[in-house]
Amino acid sequence: MCGRYTSRFTDKHKLPASLGPIPGFEPRYNIAPQQQAPVLRMLDGNPSFGELRWGFQPSWLKDRNKAQINARAETLFSKPMFKRSALQRRCLVLASGWYEWRQEQRGKQPYLFHLEADPLFAFAGIWTSGQADDGDNYAIITTEANPQAAKIHKRMPVVLTESGCQEWLEEGRDARSLAVLLRPYPANDLCTYPVSTYVNSPRHTDQACIRPL
């Protein structure tokens, strides 16, 4: 799964230039469920940048506690809750790393995953409209972990390649052509290191969250 992540904008990023410039935003070092975070999606045929709430909650789902922060790639196009958005409302969740926890002798140890060469990348996401006073919201797509990530957790978010970002946002694509994009990111391009349990609290949002232990 993916339950916390980071998002830091710099002037170097791997999102396709055809999606337009990404406006600068404040660095986020510990994004937690139910918080607003930056995404890129297509609205009226054009790329649109904005902040949506993390937690997939269609308007018919009244209980926010039942909002889903992740959607499994394997069932994305068959599960009724996600199918419509997977076909019609896809987004790029702008990220620069994510956290996972592994049970060790002294307790659960958090680790930060990131791509060393790319300070900003994108998770595959889907979005929906919530209740009238609640705004739009999103979920991050997860897949099975690659061998590197599997040492910490059996699942990982879908990290899209540069071409994959473009394809994921293309309108009118069918489930089969989209599903091939939802694969584990290559293990040799992924870096990880342990961080302090300081990150365990969503109240902690400063740069200390990503400091190597």
Tokens of 141: 């797509």
**Which residue ranges form the domains of the chain, and what is each CATH number?**
5-210 (3.90.1680.10)
What torsion do the CA atoms of 136, 66, 139, 208 make, to the nearest 10 degrees? 100
Q: Where do the DSSP E strands lie in the chain?
A: 5-7, 28-31, 36-43, 46-54, 70-72, 90-95, 97-104, 107-114, 121-129, 136-144, 155-157, 191-194
Catalytic residue among 26, 74, 91, 100: 100
Tokens of 122: 């994108």
What's the confidence (pLDDT) of residue 132? 64
Catalytic residue among 2, 91, 165, 209: 2
The whole-model pTM stands at 0.94
What's the confidence (pLDDT) of residue 189? 86
Is 2 tagged catalytic?
yes
What's the confidence (pLDDT) of residue 62? 87
Which of 161, 2, 184 lies closest to 92 in space, CA to CA?
161
Q: Beta strands 70-72 and 136-144: pairing type?
A: parallel
What's the confidence (pLDDT) of residue 140? 98
Per-residue pLDDT of the chain (213 residues; tens, 9 = 90+): 789 999 987 655 556 666 667 777 789 999 999 999 999 999 999 889 999 999 999 999 988 889 999 999 999 999 999 999 999 999 999 999 999 999 998 899 999 999 877 678 899 999 999 876 778 999 999 999 999 999 999 999 999 988 899 999 999 999 999 999 999 999 888 999 999 999 999 999 999 999 998
What's the pLDDT tens digit per position in 105-114?
Answer: 889 999 999 9
How many of the other CB atoms lie within 10 Å of CB of 3? Answer: 16
CA atoms of 110 and 98, how far apart (whole Å)? 10
